[in-house]
Amino acid sequence: MGKALRILHVDDDDDWLRQVQEVLERARHEVYSCVSMADAYFAYDRHGPFDIVICDGNVDSPDSGDGLAWALLLHGKRQKVVTLFASIDGIEGIPHLNKGEYSLQALLDLVR
């Protein structure tokens, strides 16, 4: 197993937030969980930088996942950001389905 990472996780779905946090903590990572973008910015300013930021692509607003990545970059913080989209809408979702199955184990493998 690799070194423990410091991870900021942002998701407005309480169940998903808890599940991801539990999986990452079982793998011995240090996880800071936030339910809003405002909380994420506060946590980053207070506890950052992190080894990785995992963000729901739809927290608070449609562009929030990308918005967080851009905001960190514009403030001079070169930060690895993973944006997750857990729902797929119609024909637009087909390219995402072609990328393969998503699971908590796949996320854990990604942060290793």
Please list the pLDDT of the chain residue by residue as tens digits (112 residues): 578 999 999 888 888 889 889 999 999 999 999 988 888 889 999 998 899 988 887 665 545 666 777 777 766 667 777 777 655 554 454 454 445 555 666 666 766 6
Domains of the chain from N-terminus onward? 6-111 (3.40.50.2300)
Among the residues of 14-103, which ranges form H helices?
14-26, 37-47, 64-74, 94-97
Structure tokens at 108: 């854990």
How high is the pLDDT of residue 6? Answer: 96
- Which pTM was predicted? 0.71
- Hey, is 58 helix, strand or coil? coil
Q: What is the reported pLDDT for 47?
A: 94
